[in-house]
Amino acid sequence: MTASATVYRERLRRTTAPHLLCERARVTPDSVAFRSKHFGIYRERRWRDYAALVAHAARAMQSLGIGRGERVAIMGDVCEEWMICDLAAQSLGAIVYGIYPTASAAEVEYQMRDGGACVFIAEDQEYVDRLLPIAERLPDLRTILVLDDSAMFGYEHPKLKRFGELLGATETPDLGWLEAQAALVTADDPAFIVYTSGTTGHPKGALVSHGKHLAATDTVVSHYPTLRDKPHRTVVFLPMCHVLGRDVAITLPLISQLVPHFGEDPEDFAVTLFEVAPTVLFMVPRYLQKFASHVLVGILNSSRIKRAAHDFAMRFARPYANRRWNGGSNIVQNTIYRLVQAGVFKPILNKLGFDRLELVVSGGASLPAETMALWHVYGVNVVEMYGQTEEAGGIIAGQRGPFPRPGNVGTAVDGIDVRLAEDGEVLVRSPDLFDGYWRNEEATREIKSADGWLRTGDVGEWRDGALRLIDRARDFMVTAGGKTISPSFIENALRASPYVAEAVVFGHGRKYLTAIIEIDFDTVADWARANDVAYTGFTSLTAHPRISQLIEIEIDKANASLARVEQIKSFRILPKALDPEEEGEPVTPTRKVKRKLMYERFKVLVDGMYDDREERLIAAGAGGVLAQ
Amino acid sequence: MFRPVPRASGYFRTDYAQDMALLQTRAERIGLAALVGVLVTLPFIATPFLLDLACQVFLASIGALSLMLLTGYAGQISLGHAGLIAAGAFTTGILTREINAPFWLTLPASALTGIVLGLVFGLPSLRLRGLYLAVSTLALHFIVIYLGGEYETKRGFSTGILIEKPSLGGFKLTDGRAWYFVLLIFAAATLLICINLLRSRSGRAWRAIHTRETVAEALGISISGYKLLAFVISSSMTSVAGCLFAYYRGFVSIEAFDLFLSIQYVAMIIIGGMGSLLGALLGATFVTIFPYAIEALLKLLPNVQKLAGDIFAVNYASFGVVMILFLVLEPLGLVGIWRRIQNYFLLWPFKYKPLASMRK
């Protein structure tokens, strides 16, 4: 790290996001802070407007009597009002946390109790409805604030307030007022809580303080300097309750030249991408897979000439991508690649809004190598990064690129120490980590040792200077044959198929491995239509023997790349789509699978794949001896 | 003709002015510039015959566009189109003959005639639909032709009314090239008016009425008001075309406005493609050039002299055949063919729009 970068990060460590906002409003008042789509128009907000909106919201929220260190919960989809309320609450010294819009009633109640929020901000009527039934059971809750009250007819509740009315009743303060408020908040004060979508047990709230968050997020900028060097457009779609979503929407724009764009509705994500044509994207692997599978299925269903053109282009581009990973391609190969890219790949990317992308950073979960390779073949610079909520918005490692060979998560970022424990677990140490789990000292002690090293729970290894993640430490399974197997590695191989949305591998203590497959409804339905398979809906599609054959072929493809003990011997297709919004569903809001719950839920399916004749025979032979 | 959504990625609108701009993408701007370039250079390289053909296409385009507005968008069928052109032409003829009126007077007078006729003959549309409406508009045709004929015979112009070439700002329009540009400007202005009408409140109301009157009324659209508006606007534009036609030909006579002309205009919008302004332009071009093309083809045959008398008959017959073929094989008209070709390349290398079924 250069001296000036160190100084800069030290400066960030001693400041707060509201303070940075005021600074931007003074220094670059007229440059665009973000754009947000309303009724078809991407409304431009300049830094001056942004700060004024935050100031107004802060003044209004002050009238609710929010005290320093009190918690404010926000629930809803990504929208500009979220950012404004978030920063407004932060500038009053409150601690903000988000609740996933897909959270079930029990999860909302848990997080409201655990966080003890005094104000609940609901994006619209939908989230008011989620809270009202449990509002009486929350002693700390004083106000429910609804941002968009367009569907709020006949709602009567003593705690309910409408944001618009509240703003109307408050005079607009000037920037100086906001600066004075922000000055009262110190860098060491806690800023927000991010609930980790733990795959085991209740979510834990990671408490992060102002300065550490800014300094930690600076690792992303220093690792990808293009963010600071030139203006970039990005699309915000990750939920802001996620630390990466918060980075992209709020923090990175404050410390780099990234301009976030908000779509009309998160459902319109594909449209927003197309219209904005972002230059930088922060993605989760699921979307990269989903887009890739839609492209592949679209090509499969295309006319013969067009498909032939695509196949022809792929034949040149695949070896080219390989050579590019190895760093050796000559001018002739470059020219041919440029030609096929312009003729075939650019039109594909243009339809997705991917054609101007200079950098796609994938994080949050491991990205299947095949998916990354496909995007590289198409000419999209996808890199993988590795970070966790506990790094306070920063990352541990990331591939620098451009076009790095898939299969690792790159080199450690500046300002963070990474070492591997004896059992291979990745340990990190940095001045800018999270403060601890909210009201959970025990869990904090469990992962944060006294000497400052934080246990990530992931197992990794160094290969050619880059960190390669092997698996979640506690997620190994041992088969009856005694082989230790990493299920997520196999699941990734299975998910590489465009027809597979989710795959869960079972086999702990069993003779062989099996998998439960959730089909990707869109692509499989496309395939069904193209192949004259009649279906009426999701369940009828999953029950069709031709679909079973299709998935079997896909699994055989994955098996070909796996060791013998890792191969999937049998599978079942889930008769319904996994829905994180549903109570007790075995997926987290970020669509991580809770394996244990999955087994409990679909026990019949899993057990049905194992032949237990022997066991039954023995049990029958014993004839109830044990009972006597 | 115009689309609300750009075809290439990366065009987002930050205010409503951008959203309303007719040209959104760079490709469109380049395309329009190229088209203007071709249209401007054409008269300097074309023969007088081609120039005349182009002028006829422009005239027909104005008529076809206004009929498309009425029939293709508002869904009100009309067979009185030739009558309206005649009304405009006769207004011009009578005014120049009787009071020696200049161009700047005859043009608005023709438009006014169109407005009055549109209003009167739009009234049946409030009660009648489909075939019945078509028959009632036919009455318009016969009344105008009857009145025109009466004027011709009573005033002693039984062979037709001669009209002097107009002068615009001291410049007499006798040159074919000058006419080319005048008609081009009028046709372009008509197109622009139609585009703007269709993408604003009135155009949306017309389309709603076309789709389902009851629902449109339930949405708060004044059915009678917007139906009459469609008739009035369409008729006045048609009459303006009649006025220009009279000046361009320099001669007005009822023989030029027979029922076949009405049929030709209906053919233009059917062959071009219902519900598309581009279709109106393509149809006008096709129907105008078609007889010349048939004639040229016949001349390629041996023993042309013997066939000379049959050219008319062959023309009519082949026109009928083409109409039937379009109705049966390509109901979307020329614009349907054009869109298919365009989509083939726009969707490249996909066959269907990708991500159409994408949900979050």
Report pLDDT digits (tens) over A433-487.
999 999 988 889 888 888 889 998 888 899 888 999 876 655 677 777 767 777 8
SS3 letters across A430-441 = CCCCCCEECCCH
pLDDT band with cut points at 50, 70 and 90 for residue B17: confident
Q: What confidence tens digit (pLDDT) does each residue in B44-99 have?
A: 999 999 999 999 999 999 999 999 999 999 999 999 999 999 999 999 999 999 99
Same domain, A432 and A384: yes
Closest Cβ opposite residue A310 in set B8, B349, B354 = B349
- Indicate whether B116 pLDDT > 90: yes
Is the previous residue joined to B349 through a cis bond, with omega within 30 degrees of 0?
Answer: yes
Closest partner CB to B348 (pick from A35, A301, A347): A347
Contact (CB, 8 A) for B122 and B232: yes
Q: Please tell me the predicted confidence (pLDDT) of residue B158.
A: 80
Q: Domain for residue A135, yes or no?
A: yes
Asked whether residue A622 is domain-assigned, the answer is: no
Residues B355, A352: C-beta atoms closer than 8 Å: yes
Cβ neighbours of B15 in A, within 8 Å: 41
* A498 neighbourhood in chain B, CB within 8 Å: none
Chain-chain contact of B8 with A525 (C-beta, under 8 angstroms): no
DSSP classification of residue A566: G
Min Cα–Cα distance to chain B from A582, Å: 16
- Between B277-300 and B311-329, two packed helices, what is the crossing angle to 10 degrees? 140
Average pLDDT over residues B301-316: 78
Q: Report the chain A residue with the minimal C-alpha distance to residue B360.
A: A267
Looking at residue A45, which CATH number applies to its domain? 3.40.50.12780
DSSP states along A406-435: SSS--EEPTT-EEEE-TTSEEEEE-SS---
The yes-or-no verdict on residue A422 having pLDDT over 60 is: yes
Q: CA B223, CA B209: separation in Å to the nearest integer?
A: 7
Q: Answer yes or no: do A528 and A513 share one domain.
A: yes
Whether residues A306 and B350 touch (CB distance < 8 A) is answered with yes
pLDDT given for residue B6 in this prediction: 67
pLDDT above 60: residue B1: no
Rounded to the nearest angstrom, the minimum Cα separation between B64 and chain A is 33
Question: Which whole number is the average pLDDT over A292-316?
Answer: 90
Query: In chain A, how many domains are there?
Result: 3
A621 belongs to a structural domain? no
H-helix or E-strand containing A504?
A: strand A500-506
* Beta-bridge partner residues of A195: A205
- The answer on A270 and A121 residing in a single domain is yes
Q: Give the least confident one: A51-55, A57-61, A352-356, A422-426.
A: A422-426
Domain annotation covers residue A234: no
Pair (A36, A143) in one structural domain: yes
Q: Respond yes or no on whether the N-terminal peptide bond of residue A402 is cis (omega within 30° of 0).
A: yes
The region of weakest confidence among A145-149, A577-581, B297-301 is A577-581
Rounded to whole angstroms, what are the CA distances from B282 to B60, B147, B245, B268? 10, 33, 20, 8
Name the residue in chain B with its Cα closest to that of A526.
Answer: B357
Predicted confidence at residue A201, as pLDDT, reads 65
Give Cβ neighbours of residue B232 (< 8 Å, ≥ 6 apart). Answer: B114, B115, B118, B119, B122
Same domain? A251 vs A400: no
Could you tell me if residue A245 is inside a domain?
yes
Count the neighbouring beta carbons within 10 Å of the beta carbon of residue B211.
10
Burial string for A332-342 (b: 16+ CB within 10 Å, else e) reads eeeeebeebbe
Helix (H, G, I), strand (E, B) or coil at A333: helix
Structure tokens at B189: 């202005």
Same domain for A185 and A254? yes
Q: Could you read off the pLDDT of A231-247 as tens digits, one per residue?
A: 999 999 888 888 999 99
For residue A70, the model assigns a pLDDT of 95
Q: What average pLDDT does this structure show over B37-48?
A: 94
Cα–Cα distance for residue pair A546/A123, rounded to 1 Å:
43
Rounded CA-CA distance A419/A425 in Å is 8
Chain B contact present for A579, CB below 8 A: no
Cβ–Cβ contacts within 10 Å for residue B18, how many?
Answer: 13
Tell me what the mean pLDDT of segment A132-160 comes to: 92
Is A627's pLDDT higher than 50?
Answer: no
pLDDT at position B58, please? 97
pLDDT given at position A623: 47
Based on the fold, state whether residues A395 and A536 are members of the same structural domain. no
Q: What is the residue range of A453's domain? A: 280-355+357-472
| C-beta neighbour count of A41 within 10 angstroms | 18
Nearest to B9 among A266, A277, A309 (CB): A277
Residue A225 to residues A33, A255, A348, A400, B222, Cα–Cα distance (Å): 19, 11, 28, 10, 60
Q: Which residue of A has its CA nearest to B8?
A: A350
Q: Please indicate, yes or no, if residue A498 is contained in any of the structural domains.
A: yes
Instruction: Flag whether residue A176 sits within 8 Å of chain B, measured between CB atoms.
Output: no
With cut-offs at 50, 70 and 90, classify the pLDDT of residue A628.
very low
Q: Tell me how many degrees the CA angle A25-A30-A32 measures, rounded to the nearest 5.
A: 90
Please, what is the average pLDDT of chain A? 89
Mean pLDDT of B201-213: 95
Q: What is the pLDDT of residue A612?
A: 65
Output the six-digit token pair for B6.
Answer: 């750009």
Side-chain-facing half-sphere of A431: CA atoms under 13 Å: 15
Q: Do A276 and B12 touch (CB under 8 A)?
A: yes
Q: At what angle do helices B48-67 and B81-99 cross, to 10 degrees?
A: 120
Strands A190-196 and A425-429: unpaired
Whether A226 maps to a domain, the answer reads: no
B2 pLDDT higher than 60: no
**Same domain for A530 and A386:** no
The answer to whether residue B175 scores a pLDDT higher than 90 is no
Average pLDDT over residues A23-38: 96
Shared domain for A145 and A254, answered yes or no, is yes
Structure tokens at A336: 């041919």
Half-sphere exposure of A466 (CA within 13 A, CB side): 19
pLDDT at A103: 81
Same domain, yes or no: A96 and A244: yes
A232 lies in a domain?
A: no
Per-residue pLDDT of A514-556, as tens digits, reads 999 999 888 888 888 888 889 998 889 998 999 999 999 999 9
- For residue A312, the domain's CATH number is 2.30.38.10
Mean pLDDT over B221-250 rounds to: 96
At B360 the pLDDT is 45
- pTM here is 0.85
A454 and A519, same domain (yes or no):
no
Element (H, E) at A209: strand A204-209
For residue A405, give both structure tokens: 């060979």
Alpha helices, H only, chain B: 16-20, 26-45, 48-67, 81-99, 103-122, 130-154, 176-198, 201-211, 213-218, 223-249, 259-272, 277-300, 304-307, 311-329, 333-346
